[in-house]
């Protein structure tokens, strides 16, 4: 039990891979310092606020929060929006492909759902998608081809996967969809800590209405078999806020 807690509180700067896939989440990882990512986002945004950790913000329309863990090379972009009245000329949040082109750095869009039993990622470099993976529990599952790719289909043990890339990957490497995604993130020396809108805005999610939300960094809690709890709080370079559109 002591070892379990020690692993949970291991240095945030040294961790790689994915902290947990036991959730429904989307993460955008950008291999860029926070200030450079935020500079690009601010060029698209109609409203920008830097260093908002601990502040109470009025959230409405389309918005994004960017942050970075101290010692990590990748920044995190969490995006969200409210259903409200806005015209079609609203400035959109820049896409992962746009970010990769403007920053000249790779961007990973990562999604997973434990309840849906599926996971996928898309890797962008130089404004182009260079790798895509989609996997699901259940060999009969059909993927949503959002990037219109001629992907190879793989039937695994109780799973199905679709893979497209500019690199070659053997079929043996696709033995398990969850392990494959984990290895991919590690190979890029990246880390998805689970810092998303739910984490940064607290327990008041899902976001149903515009309103005031406090930007927070509460840490992650682990319940040990002994009944004790261990909390680990990542040290953040900062958190920046951006609003897009009118």
- The sign of the torsion formed by the CA atoms of 81, 83, 84, 85 equals positive
- The sign of the torsion formed by the CA atoms of 215, 12, 33, 105 equals negative
* Peptide bond preceding 207 in cis form (omega within 30 of 0): no
Q: Which two tokens stand for residue 177?
A: 């969809």
Q: What is the mean pLDDT of residues 65-92?
A: 77
Q: Which two tokens stand for residue 31?
A: 């291999």
Would you say 117 and 136 are in contact if contact means Cβ atoms under 8 Å apart?
A: yes
Half-sphere exposure of residue 68, counting CA atoms within 13 Å on the CB side?
Answer: 19
Q: What is the mean pLDDT of the chain?
A: 87
Report how far apart the first and last C-alpha atoms of the chain are (Å, whole number).
52
83-116 burial code (b ≥16 CB/10 A, e <16): eeeeeeeeeebbebbbbbbbbebbbbbbbbeeee
Q: Measured between alpha carbons, how far is 162 from 195 in angstroms, rounded to an integer?
A: 27
Question: Among candidates 207, 201, 186, 209, which has minimal Cα distance to 67?
Answer: 201
Domain boundaries, the chain: 2-244
Distances (CA, A) of 88 to 19, 79, 91, 246: 37, 19, 9, 10
Q: Given a cut of 80, is residue 90 above it in pLDDT?
A: no
At 134-178, the pLDDT tens digits run: 999 986 667 788 899 999 999 888 899 999 999 988 878 888 999
Band of residue 243 on the pLDDT scale cut at 50, 70, 90: very high
At 110-125, the pLDDT tens digits run: 998 887 788 999 999 9
Task: List strand residue ranges (DSSP E) for 31-106, in order.
Answer: 47-49, 56-59, 62-69, 75-81
Higher pLDDT among residues 239 and 58, named by residue: 239
Higher pLDDT among residues 225 and 62, named by residue: 62
At 205-231, the pLDDT tens digits run: 555 578 889 999 999 887 777 778 888
Q: What is the mean pLDDT of residues 39-48?
A: 96
Lowest mean pLDDT among 24-28, 100-104, 203-207, 225-229: 203-207
């Amino acid at each position: 039990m002591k070892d379990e807690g020690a692993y949970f509180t291991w240095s945030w700067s040294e961790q790689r891979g994915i902290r947990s896939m036991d959730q429904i989440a989307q993460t955008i990882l950008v291999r860029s310092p926070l200030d450079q990512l935020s500079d690009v986002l601010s060029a698209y945004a109609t409203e920008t606020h830097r260093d908002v950790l601990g502040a109470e913000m009025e959230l409405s329309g389309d918005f994004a929060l960017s942050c970075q863990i101290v010692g990590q090379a990748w920044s995190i972009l969490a995006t969200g929006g409210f259903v409200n009245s806005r015209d079609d000329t609203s400035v959109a949040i820049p896409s992962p492909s746009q970010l990769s082109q403007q920053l000249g750095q790779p961007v990973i869009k990562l999604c997973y759902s434990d309840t849906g039993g599926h996971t996928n990622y898309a890797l962008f470099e130089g404004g182009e998608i260079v790798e895509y993976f989609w996997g699901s529990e259940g060999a009969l599952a059909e993927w949503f081809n959002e990037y219109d790719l001629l992907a190879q289909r793989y039937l695994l043990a109780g799973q199905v996967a679709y893979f497209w890339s500019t690199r070659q990957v053997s079929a043996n490497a696709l033995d398990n969809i969850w392990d494959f995604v984990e290895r991919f993130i590690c190979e890029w020396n990246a880390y998805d800590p689970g810092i998303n809108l739910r984490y940064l805005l607290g327990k008041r999610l899902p976001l149903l209405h515009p309103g005031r939300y406090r930007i927070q960094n509460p840490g992650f809690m682990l319940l040990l078999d002994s009944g004790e709890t261990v909390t680990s709080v990542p040290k953040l370079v900062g958190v920046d806020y951006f609003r897009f559109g009118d």
